[in-house]
Structures are given as structure tokens and as C-alpha cells.
């Protein structure tokens, strides 16, 4: 018959197993970050390659594709290690289904590259296809952050996700600006989109700053060259306000400075990944130490009970019972507190969930594709000068008065 102490130790071992699984997920997040970075570079180069009708970056693009393929292989190696056989992964279902989306999207990548190589699509189309792939990869990171069972690790993953998402908006801005400067003029839609991308970056980096360890933020600060952002701001001002002809030569400047900025972000991302790894390792070690202590305390309790002549080690007598009881109570309370803290950390992910839900509603009721639904929300936000999440909330509050879907 299992005793209270069996369950006490089992609870602790569950915690350790969850942390170990989490450590594996964090490793996966790290290699996904590297893969996304490689894809972002490829997207940037492909954009200019297409924009220049094949005149620019042909060799660099091919070189970058090789790097991308290496990073992809690394992601696939990590995915192969994910234990899809263990049926008890915490929220494994959602994580696995996000992975399925990514793997499916990757099947289409070689065909996409071939079309770009023979200039059979526009720069905007190529960007859109790669944005979609990156967004699928970011969904895996989001899921990892949302299902992490440790508040500290969860917070670090929330910071990592928002940093990666912010960097992706910066990458999209690089592509958009590249197209605008290459074309030599900007239209109203591009102007709105540009502003949206700048605002979205700010929002993401704010959450990242709120959730990050002060040492990470310090290292981040140290890694940045203030001249880079100044140059980008200058080019943004030119691209976004000059309504007439733009100097098409600025396209290369824009790409150069944006790439420097994104490379700086890459260094910070590596820091964040290292921090995550270290954090997981420390938490596992700590939980293992606590398990050892608890086991030792329980052994001592049984030994004392036996030396006091009790026939069976339990019940232990009033004194020992109180020690065991306080140990059990303390553990429940601690786990409860962890749950509360996790809920608090996850609220920073709720905004994204609201937007996802509003998108789903539009897809169901307006027969829109996912992209169309997102664009519709973004357009509403831009027209009304409000935040995307507020518009999403409004759409959802209308759900009750909408007719039921067939």
C-alpha cells in the first residue's frame, strides 16, 4: 500500500521530470531561434535579389540557403528527439500539433526557393511565404512558453518569445523598407504597414524588457551600438515621409543598417538562449537537492520511529507526525504558489490569444483565410488608431450577436 511519503516523493519526482522535459523544450527553442535568424537573412537577400531582377546578392543568397539548410537539419534533429511516444507530455497535444504545422510548411520550402531563383514570383509574395513559415516556428516557441511548468523558466520563455517576435517584426520591416527603397516610392498601404511594424516591435520589446533578468538587459544594452538605431531612424524618416521620388541607392544602406541591427539582436537572442539553458539546469539541480533532502528527512523520521519501539514505521507518534505533516503541508502550499505565479506570468501571453481567437471568429463567420482575417484586424486597428488587442476584444464581444455558423 502506498503511503503519504510515497506520494510526497512522487510529487517531487514529477516536478523534476517536468523540468527535464522543459529543459529539452528550451533547447529546441534555442535551435529554432537560430533557424529563424537564418531564414530572416535568406528572406532579406531574396527580397533584394527579386527586387533587383536577379542583379544583386545571387551568390550570397545561395550561400545563405546552405546555412539555412544546416539550421533546419539541427531543428529536425531536436524534433526527432522529442518524445512523441511518451503520451503524458504536459500539453503535448498542442505543442505537437504546432510542430506538425511547421514540418508541413517546411516541405514546401525547396519549391519556394526554386521559384524565387527563377524570379517566378514577386518580392512581396516571397516575403509573405517566408513570413508564414517563421510565424509557424514562433507558434512552437509560444506554446513552449504557455505550457512551461516553472514560473521562472516560463517568464524567461515569455521574454524569449517576445524578443523573437520583435526581431521578426524588425525583419519584416527590413524587407518592406527594402522593397520601398528599391521601388523609389511609397504608397499609402506600405506606409501604414511600416508604422504598424514599428509599433509592434516596440510592444514586443516592452514585454521582453518587463520579463527579463536585469543581467540579461544589461548585457543587451552593452551589445548595442547606438549609431545603428540612429541610422535606421534616419532612413525610416526618409522612407516614411518623403512622398516623392526616393533615392533607390538607399536600398543598400537600409539593408546594411537593418542587418547590423538584426545581427545585434541575434547576439542578445543567443544570450537569452544561454540564460534559459542555465536556468533550467539550476532549477533541476535545486529540485534534485530538495528531493534528496526530503528523502533523507523521511528516512530519519522512520528510523526514529523504529528506535522508539513502534512496530510499524507509521504512525510515527505525535512529534514525528507533526514534522511529516508540516513537510506535506509545506509542499502543497509551495506547489499552489507556483501555480499562482505561473498564472500571473502567462497573462502576458493573453493578448496574443485574444488576437488568435478574434482571427478564428472572422475565419468562421466571414469565410476568410487566416491571413485575410489578420489583415482585416490590422486594418481596423490602423483605421481606428487603436491597438490590435483592443480591436480583437471588440470583435470577440460581438461574437454573441453574430449568427451561428453552419
- Which chain residues interact with a copy of itself by CB under 8 A? 1-8, 10-18, 21, 76, 79-80, 82, 84, 86-104, 107-108, 111, 139, 149, 314-315, 321, 324-325, 328-329, 331-333, 335-337, 339-340, 353, 356-357, 360, 370
Local structure of 143: helix, strand or coil: helix
In the numeric block, the cell 507556483 is attached to: 338
Cell of 304: 526514529
> Could you tell me which of 257, 276, 280, 258 has the C-alpha nearest to residue 268?
276
What's the closest the beta carbon of residue 65 comes to a copy of itself, in angstroms?
A: 18
Cβ closest to a copy of itself, residue 245 vs residue 400: 400
Phi, psi of 88 (to 5 degrees): -110, 20
Q: Work out how close the CB of 335 gets to a copy of itself at its nearest, in angstroms, rounded to a whole number.
A: 5
Minimal CA–CA distance to 168: which of 336, 44, 23?
Answer: 44
Q: CA 69 to CA 83: how far, in whole Å?
A: 24
Least distance to a copy of itself from the beta carbon of 264, Å?
Answer: 33
The distance of closest approach from Cβ of residue 240 to a copy of itself in the complex, given in angstroms and rounded to an integer, is 35
Nearer to a copy of itself, 21 or 47 (CB): 21
Minimal distance, residue 231 CB to a copy of itself, in Å = 40
67 or 321, CB closer to a copy of itself? 321
Query: DSSP characters for 258-273?
Result: HHHHHHHHHHHHHHHH
CA-to-CA distance for 31 and 84, rounded, in angstroms?
Answer: 19
Alpha helices, DSSP H only, in 308-317? Answer: none
In the bound state with a copy of itself, the residue whose beta carbon lies nearer, of 16 and 198, is 16
The CB-of-111 to a copy of itself minimum distance in angstroms stands at 7
Closer to a copy of itself by Cβ: residue 217 or 396:
396
Give the shortest CB-189-to-a copy of itself separation in angstroms. Answer: 27
Q: Look-up: residue for cell 539550476?
A: 282
Per the CB < 8 A criterion, the answer to whether 359 and 374 are in contact is yes
Q: At a CB cut-off of 8 Å and minimum separation 6, what does 306 contact?
A: 313
Quote the least distance from Cβ 119 to a copy of itself, whole Å.
20
When the beta carbons of 117 and 314 are compared against a copy of itself, the nearer one is 314
Q: Which of 394, 372, 355 is nearest to 200 (CA)?
A: 355
Q: Pick the closer one to a copy of itself by CB: 152 or 260.
A: 152
Q: In angstroms, what is the minimal distance from the CB of 243 to a copy of itself?
A: 40
Helices assigned H by DSSP within 308-397: 318-346, 350-366, 370-384, 388-397
57: region left, alpha or beta (phi > 0 left; psi from -120 to 50 alpha):
left
| Other Cβ atoms closer than 10 A to 343 | 10
> What torsion do the CA atoms of 44, 49, 55, 59 make, to the nearest 10 degrees?
70
Amino acid at each position: 500500500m502506498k503511503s503519504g511519503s510515497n506520494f510526497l516523493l512522487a510529487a517531487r519526482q514529477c516536478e523534476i521530470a517536468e523540468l527535464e522535459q522543459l529543459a529539452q523544450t528550451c533547447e529546441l527553442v534555442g535551435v529554432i531561434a537560430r533557424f529563424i535568424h537564418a531564414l530572416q537573412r535568406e528572406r532579406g537577400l531574396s527580397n533584394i535579389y527579386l527586387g533587383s531582377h536577379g542583379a544583386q546578392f545571387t551568390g550570397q543568397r545561395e550561400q545563405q540557403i546552405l546555412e539555412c539548410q544546416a539550421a533546419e537539419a539541427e531543428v529536425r534533429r531536436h524534433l526527432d528527439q522529442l518524445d512523441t511516444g511518451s503520451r503524458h507530455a504536459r500539453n503535448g497535444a498542442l505543442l505537437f500539433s504546432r510542430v506538425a504545422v511547421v514540418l508541413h510548411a517546411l516541405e514546401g520550402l525547396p519549391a519556394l526557393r526554386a521559384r524565387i531563383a527563377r524570379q517566378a514570383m514577386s518580392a512581396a509574395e516571397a516575403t509573405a511565404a517566408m513570413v508564414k513559415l517563421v510565424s509557424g516556428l514562433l507558434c512552437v516557441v509560444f506554446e513552449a512558453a504557455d505550457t512551461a511548468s516553472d514560473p521562472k523558466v516560463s517568464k524567461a520563455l515569455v521574454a524569449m518569445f517576445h524578443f523573437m517576435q520583435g526581431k521578426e517584426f524588425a525583419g519584416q520591416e527590413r524587407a518592406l523598407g527594402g522593397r520601398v527603397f528599391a521601388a523609389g516610392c511609397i504608397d499609402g498601404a506600405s506606409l501604414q504597414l511600416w508604422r504598424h511594424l514599428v509599433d509592434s516591435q516596440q510592444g514586443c520589446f516592452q514585454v521582453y524588457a518587463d520579463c527579463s533578468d536585469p543581467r540579461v538587459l544589461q548585457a543587451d544594452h552593452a551589445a548595442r551600438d547606438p549609431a545603428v538605431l540612429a541610422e535606421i531612424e534616419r532612413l525610416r524618416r526618409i522612407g516614411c515621409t518623403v512622398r516623392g521620388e526616393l533615392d533607390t541607392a538607399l536600398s543598400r544602406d537600409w539593408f546594411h543598417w537593418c542587418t547590423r541591427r538584426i545581427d545585434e539582436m541575434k547576439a542578445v537572442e543567443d544570450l537569452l538562449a544561454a540564460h534559459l539553458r542555465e536556468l533550467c539546469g539550476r532549477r533541476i539541480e535545486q529540485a534534485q537537492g530538495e528531493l534528496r533532502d526530503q528523502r533523507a528527512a523521511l528516512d530519519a523520521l522512520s528510523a526514529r520511529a523504529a528506535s522508539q519501539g513502534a512496530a510499524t514505521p507509521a504512525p510515527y507518534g505525535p512529534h514525528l507526525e507533526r514534522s511529516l505533516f508540516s513537510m506535506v503541508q509545506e509542499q502543497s502550499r509551495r506547489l499552489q504558489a507556483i501555480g499562482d505565479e505561473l498564472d500571473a506570468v502567462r497573462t502576458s501571453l493573453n493578448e496574443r490569444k485574444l488576437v488568435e481567437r478574434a482571427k478564428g471568429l472572422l475565419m468562421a463567420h466571414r469565410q476568410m483565410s487566416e491571413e485575410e482575417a489578420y489583415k482585416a484586424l490590422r486594418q481596423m486597428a490602423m483605421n481606428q488608431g487603436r491597438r490590435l488587442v483592443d480591436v480583437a476584444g471588440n470583435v470577440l464581444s460581438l461574437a454573441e450577436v453574430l449568427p451561428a455558423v453552419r
